[in-house]
Structure 1
Amino acid sequence: MTTSAPTDTLAERFATARQVADAVLFEGYVLYPYRASAAKNRLRWQFGVLVPPRWGADRGEPSHQRTACLMEPRAGARLRAELRFLRAQRRTVQRLRPDGTFETVPELELPDRVLVPWDEGVEERCPVDVPVAGLAGDGVTVPFTRPAGEETEPVHDADGRQVGRLVRRRAEISGTLRLTARELAGPYAVRQLTATVTNTSDWQPGPDAGDRDAALPRSLVAAHLLLGLTAGRFLSQTDPPEWARGAVADCRNEHVWPVLAGPPGSADVVLSAPIILADHPAIAPESPGALYDALEIDEILTLRTAALTDQEKREARGTDPRAAEVIALADGMPPEVLERLHGAVRELRAATGLDPAPEPARPDTPWWDPGADRSVDPLSDRITVDGRPVGAGSRVALRPGRRRTDAQDLFLHGRTARVEAVLHDVDGGVHLAVTVDGDPGADIRREQGRFLYFQPDEVAPLEDE
């Protein structure tokens, strides 16, 4: 097991850990269909929100998070810590009047986007580098402040004329990061590291500013910690060595859970996040980029995003720069990258201790090609149903049975349909591909080859061929 890390290695592993943190914390920042007008984007910032203490005291939301884990530092080791969080900055949209003044508007139409008010997330970092020996006793407390501010960004039309501006306002945020370490009794040189992040913003909500929306600009959003040792190792909180289980049980974590980050076998970096992860979390290599949708499924989200209307894409681009990146990603994704998203299995072999699975064989031709099998022809084959020949072009009544159908099939009971093809599977079964009469999407189904399928005993012929 690796027990030390040079500075450049720690930097690389911090960068990798940030990607994981972004995937589980910053995703959910804006949800499909990536428009501010979507109902699901009206309530935001769910994970790792540390609110001002005076606001959260009576509302059940924390103003602090506490990380406790075990480490075995070597002589002269230093602790690198980095607090990361999002800061909600409030954006308003203003239109330029003929007299040169600006008025706040609910939206501003541009050829490529529709700008709307939105709370943007600005990434903030608070890095700390201290010797482990200096963490004894009261340890080290690092205060930080992010001042209030206001910025304006001019907005121009396609001809370069200014038509409005964006006004971004930030409230003041202050907090502390406290790091302490105490040596545990016993034969092992183990220390318990405690890292506490606290929102100390002195904001008193007024009678008209008591809701969560008012508190968010003064909150640390998606707050999490990266911890790294220049010499030594951390012990897993999830799967510690047997001799350390009692000490691990005494570690009290509040609103976060620390896991070993970096590649399997390394133990010099910890990611402490408000979402429970397994040790050594990693981004799937198939993922093409951040989609910022909580619980995302890359393939489905990419396909659905690419299928948004032009107007919906304009609204998404105007909602947030991250949303605009998602639209560009979906629109410009090469087919070979999209195909790679269809899925991969890795954990089964890892769980059984087997060697990594070999690359699957990819023959020049498929093991069975219906187009090359002269014994079947979906468009000309006929089968006999109730003594009548049925094939492509036949009209049938649908009689789905209860044995193998779902509710969607049962809704079609009694409807009439047109048979589009007769299909044979490798087990000798026969399936009828049909389009339902009166379906406005029948032509699209034929063009895409996406039919409904019934077995011969689930249809009744309507006419002789």
Structure 2
Amino acid sequence: MTATDAGDRFAAARAVADAVLFEGYVLYPYRASAAKNRLRWQFGVLAPPGWGEASGEHSFQRTEVLMEPRRGAVLHAELRFLHARRRRVQRALPGGGFADTGELELADRVLTAWDEGVEERVTIEVPVTELAAGHTADFTVAGREESEDVHEYGRLVGRLVHTREPLHGRVTLTAAELPGPYAALRLTAAVDNTARTAPAADADRTAALPRALISAHLMLGLDAGRFLSLTDPPEWARAAAGSCGNVRSWPVLAGRDGGADVVLASPIILEDHPAVAPESPGALYDALEIDEILTLRTATLTDREKREARGTDPRAAAVVDLADSMPPEVLERLHGAVRSLREVTGPGTPSGEADLLGEPGTPWWDPGGDRTVDPDTDRVLVAGREVGAGSRVVLRPGLRRTDAQDLFLHGRGALVEAVLHDVDGGVHLAVTVDGDPGADIRREQGRFLYFQPDEISPLEDA
């Protein structure tokens, strides 16, 4: 496969990876002075070894996935991360030379000190047959210092000094056959920060970031063959998938058009075949979940705030310009989108179906619009026992699909309040947790925690 083919293969994954790469890069209101931008880059930070272990920062990540390569297959890997480029602001002195300053105010922007993120890539191609012996790729990113003069109305008023520290790292790829009759392999990909110098163990995070691999994630592709989903593997591979050990990495299928030839190993939790919403007008660095409100809020910034945002970072400047120039029809698209439709029954329903309809005019998504479901009386079979409103259960949240905070509820007792059916045919149990002092308020407001049937174990009914 040519380099161009490899790039096309990763195109869909790279669009999602960009959101991961810049997750929390510069949060609204997109100014260096904002409190939320004082502690940046929360995901995928591979710090220099020997620093930060006590504070929760680590120097490596490991990905394990299952794959079924065809004869002659080549594995393509692309490691992407941000390299912190520290920016100092200097003011031009009347007699010549420059002096550091807290900020440099210009007519169109306010320049301040800031850590910019420069994207770095490491690409690897290796025949799958060579992975049994292991393949190691060491890489170095050179450090440098650059300066950029700042002019206003044709006059030199200052300069920006950009400094990057050298980075050193290693990618190790190995593959081992799975036991049994299936021609499948377990692929292990490890990424290590191998910095040759590191800040003191008690140095703060700001001192360590210039030598860290920031927002590190890995894309893996096969030119012949496929990867297996760890979330929904075939039955024969379920045990092997469950034994895959992923450390600070969450691998999901990410091939084009739902293909299984690409895996994105992300530092944040994703689902198989993640995609950027087509309505999104651009990167807003807030997880792509609240584009409309972020755009509206950005448009309400004062002129001074917009100038500071434009001077904080070129990406922040692009966000401000996007909000200022967005046509009404583009903004309207952010207000909501229908991903799929199903037939809605109405007048003229064939005989025998009319008794299933709810009250006339009831929305199709309202439980009252379908007499075949009733959250208060419906029951679902779990481990051979019927569970419904009033049932006592023990919570067993699924490790790969639940909210991270739900994991703290593992093993806790709960009371089922309702059995709900979503529009896709899924079943969800609304519960209140034993010992929750706000349980009565939750019932009054109809705000519950929700788990799927295979995430609970039934106890005796209340």
Q: TM-score, normalised by structure 1?
A: 0.71
Q: Deviations over 1:59-84 (max 9, x none)?
A: 33111000000000001100000000
In 1, the alpha carbon distance for the partners of 2:254 and 2:198 equals 38
Alignment of 1:245 with 2:241, yes or no, is no
What is the CA deviation profile of residues 148-195 of structure 1, one whole-angstrom value per residue up to 9, with x for unaligned ones?
2100000000x2111100000111110100000111121110000000
> Partners in 2 of 1:327 and 1:265 — Cα distance?
34
Give the structure 2 partner of residue 148 of structure 1: 143
Measured against aligned partners, the alpha-carbon deviations of 1:113-166 in whole angstroms (never above 9, x if no partner) come to 0000000000000000111111112x1100011122100000000x21111000
Task: Return the alpha-carbon distance in structure 2 between the equivalents of residues 345 and 123 of structure 1.
Answer: 34
Instruction: Return the alpha-carbon distance in structure 2 between the equivalents of residues 316 and 324 of structure 1.
Output: 6
1:57 Cα shift? Answer: 3.3
Give the Cα–Cα distance (whole angstroms) in 1 for the partners of residues 310 and 162 of structure 2: 17
1:183–1:191: 8 Å Cα contact kept in structure 2? yes
> SS at the partner of 1:323?
helix
Deviation at 1:204, TM superposition (A): 3.6
Amino acid at match of 1:152: S
In the comparison of the two structures, how many residue pairs are matched?
344
The residue correspondences of 1:24-103 to structure 2 (distance < 5 A) are 24-103=20-99
Which amino acid in structure 1 is aligned with residue 290 of structure 2? I
Quote how far apart the aligned CAs of 1:295 are: 6.1
For residues 302 and 161 of structure 1, the distance between their equivalents in structure 2, rounded to whole angstroms, comes to 34
Asked if residue 330 in structure 1 is aligned to residue 323 in structure 2, the reply is yes
SS at match of 2:278: coil
Query: Which of these residues, 167, 172, 182, is aligned with residue 178 of structure 1?
Result: 172
Residue in 2 that maps onto 1:132:
128
Q: CA offsets, 1:348-377, max 9 Å, x none?
A: 76xxxx69xxxxxxxxxxxxxxxxxxxxxx
Counterpart AA for 1:142: A
Query: Where does 1:63-462 land on structure 2 (aligned, <5 Å)?
Result: 63-137=59-133, 139-157=134-152, 159-206=153-200, 210-294=203-287, 296-346=289-339
Counterpart contact for 1:88–1:122, Cα < 8 Å = yes
CA distance in 2, matches of 1:259, 1:6: 24
Mapped contact 1:6–1:230 kept (Cα < 8 A): no
| 2:75–2:128 contact (8 Å) kept in structure 1 | yes
Contact 1:54 1:202 in 2 (8 A): no
- Structure 2 unpaired stretches of 5+: 344-462
Report sequence identity in percent. 68
Confirm or deny: 8 A CA contact 1:27 1:291 kept in the other structure. no
Equivalent residues of 2:21, 2:82 under 8 A apart: no
Most deviating of 209-218 and 309-318: 209-218
Letter of the 1:40 counterpart: K
SS of alignment partner, residue 50 of structure 2: helix
1:54: Cα distance to partner?
1.1
1:432 match: none
Question: Structure 1 residues 206, 38: CA separation in 2 closer, same or farther (over 3 Å shift)?
Answer: same
- Mark the structure with the bigger radius of gyration: 1
The aligned counterpart of 1:397 is: none
CA distance in 2, matches of 1:242, 1:6: 35
Aligned CA RMSD, in angstroms, stands at: 1.8
- Work out whether residues 80 and 127 of structure 1, in 8 Å CA contact, stay in contact via their aligned partners in 2: yes
